[in-house]
Amino acid sequence: MSPHPPSRYATKAVLSALALFCLCSLSSNSVLAADAPAGSVKSVAGEALVTRAGAAAPLKIGDRVYERDVLTTGKGATLGLVLRDNSTLSLGPGSRLVVERFLFEPEKGALAQVLKLSRGSMAAVSGEIVKLNPEVAKIETPVYSVGIRGTHVLLNVEPGLETAEDKAQVTGAAK
């Protein structure tokens, strides 16, 4: 046992450092959760692009896909994805899919999967999110919204049904 008790200043310094460490840990964990990928690219044939924060880039096998990413396939192209909950998605030629919302933290009960297919075709096999809480999984199209309750889904959005936002992006890309 020390003959001198710690000073009030030393105790305050230690507590302040501990509080700062805890705040930094909490904020870095929330950044990590927000930056967690929704999934990754498993196959690409032809031209497939991701538009993220307004910048388009070609996709390749192993690339990560994030919430709010816009995925497009060119004429004759296909794209295969596996999401973190083990859902699988296959996009056909001329498709546009937005990963609108993806949250997979089953230990916290935090689950969400919202995909927006505005053109083209997509086949999907549901994963853990649908098994745990099917109410939070859906695929939206310009005409309807599909709640995912089963395991297999096949959708085709005919040309001409794109939203005004989709048409603006296509027109902007052609300039």
- Residue 160 identity: G
Ordered by start, the domain boundaries in the chain are 1-35, 39-174
Which is nearest to 65 in space by CA: 75, 51, 77?
Answer: 51
The pLDDT of residue 105 is 97
The tokens describing 30, both together, are 């929330």
Which of the pair, 34 or 47, is modelled with greater confidence? Answer: 47
Local confidence band at 27 (pLDDT 50, 70, 90 cut-offs): very low
Per-residue three-class SS string for 120-136: EEEEEECCHHHHHCHHH
Distance CA 118, CA 145 (A): 11
The yes-or-no verdict on residue 114 having pLDDT over 70 is yes
Distance CA 92, CA 80 (A): 9
Distance CA 11, CA 48 (A): 58
Residues 157-173: pLDDT tens digits? Answer: 877 655 555 544 433 33
Per CATH, domain 39-174 is 2.60.40: no
How far are the Cα atoms of 24, 29, 31, 54, 110 from residue 19, in angstroms, in the given order?
Answer: 9, 15, 18, 38, 27
Q: What pTM value is reported for the model?
A: 0.71
Contact 119, 105 (CB under 8 A): no
The pLDDT of residue 15 is 40
Mapping DSSP to helix (H, G, I), strand (E, B) and coil, where does residue 66 land?
A: coil
Local confidence band at 115 (pLDDT 50, 70, 90 cut-offs): very high
Which is nearest to 103 in space by CA: 139, 74, 70, 66?
Answer: 66
The yes-or-no verdict on residue 40 having pLDDT over 60 is yes
Residues 62-96: pLDDT tens digits? Answer: 999 999 999 999 999 999 999 999 999 999 999 99
